[in-house]
Amino acid sequence: MWKKLGRLSDGSTVAPPWGLSHAALPVVESIGDGRHRVFFSARDAQGRARIGSADVDLDAASGWRVAPGPVVDLGPLGGFDDNGVTSSCLVAHGGRKFLFYTGWSLGVTVPFYLSIGLAIGDEDSGYQRVSKAPLFDRDGVDPFLTASPWVLIEGDVWRMWYVSGTCWVTKNGRATHRYHIRYAESPDGLQWQRRGVVCIDFKSEDEFAIARPCVIKDRDLYRMWYSYRGNTYRIGYAESLDGISWRRRDDEAGIDVSADGWDAEMIEYPCIVDLGTRRLMLYNGDGYGRTGIGIAEWQHGTTR
């Protein structure tokens, strides 16, 4: 089971004017000397998200210090990310850091479009988009939307688990998305092969969103934490021997909503971090990050 340790951020006024609320979709980077940087998504007065960062002492679960400016700002007018950018995954390779993110643009027949973007940078130059176009746009494999990539590099292969839309449906006069988690591969992190491989699918008709995977490899076993929802989000868990065929074991996720407080209605967007012998989870609660980022620790000796 996971033991909740409290909150790193309460999600209130992050860094005006670009970040007035929310601290969603945490991504963790080690910056040396036991320190960590958390990338997250904050919203402005119009509800548009930008990616920011904060340095924090994860070991003590304290010391949240937000950088004044966004790490990745809104894209150009008319671009795939002109109405929001949300954090997803950070990978270090060849002396550079690859920040994968989700770009948001507004729709007419549907509320929004989502696409996967990529910014590359380092400590000195900051992060720059590799293109004004998305890394993953809609295509014949993913015709509705792509979002929330999680990437691991294994040898010469870049492996990605990402969200793909299966359709839009009309409910109560509104267009509602349906999406699950799929798999792709790349030789370099830039050119990707998508074949429509589904890793985590819906378990019932009531479920319509399976979101933001986080994948780690423990020896010969792949573990994935993700969010799934009917009425409200919960954190799910799955295992795989090859990273492609997965078995959902949501009853072994080991974490759920609290009886009261900031994460009593929903819990989502997990990010797993290993600190020596400690395994931590950063996650969001009520309001998709409106109430901030929580931290929990896996209790050794328990089973998933």
Q: Per-residue DSSP letters for 186-238?
A: ESSSSS-EEEEEEEE--SSTT--EEEEEEEEEETTEEEEEEEEESSSEEEEEE
User: What is the structure's pLDDT at 63?
Assistant: 87
User: What is the residue type of 66?
Assistant: V
Strand order in the sheet with 268-275: 2-9, 293-298, 278-284, 268-275
Of the candidates 203, 208, 271, which has an alpha carbon nearest to the alpha carbon of residue 235?
271
Alpha-carbon distance 226 to 243, whole Å?
Answer: 14
Task: Produce one character per residue of 94-107: b if its CB has 16 or more CB atoms within 10 Å, e if not.
Answer: eeebbbbbbbbbee
Q: Quick one: the chain helix, strand, coil %, rounded to 5?
A: 0, 60, 40
| Cβ atoms of 91 and 151 closer than 8 Å | yes
User: What is the structure's pLDDT at 299?
Assistant: 94
Using CA atoms, how far residue 292 sits from 12, 23, 138, 224, 228, in Å, is 7, 5, 31, 22, 19
Of the candidates 101, 78, 83, which has an alpha carbon nearest to the alpha carbon of residue 46?
83
User: What is the structure's pLDDT at 301?
Assistant: 65
In order of their start, the domains of the chain are 90-298 (2.115.10.20)
Of the candidates 114, 119, 192, 176, which has an alpha carbon nearest to the alpha carbon of residue 148?
114
Of the candidates 165, 161, 270, which has an alpha carbon nearest to the alpha carbon of residue 209?
165
pTM for this predicted structure: 0.96
User: What is the structure's pLDDT at 190?
Assistant: 97
Length of the chain counted residue by residue:
304
With a CB cutoff of 8 Å and minimum separation 6, the contacts of 146 are: 114, 115, 116, 134, 136, 137, 138, 162, 163, 164, 165
User: What is the structure's pLDDT at 123?
Assistant: 67
For the chain (304 residues), the mean pLDDT of every run of 10, in chain order, is 96 90 97 90 97 93 91 97 98 95 97 98 86 96 98 98 97 93 98 98 95 96 97 97 98 97 98 95 98 95 55
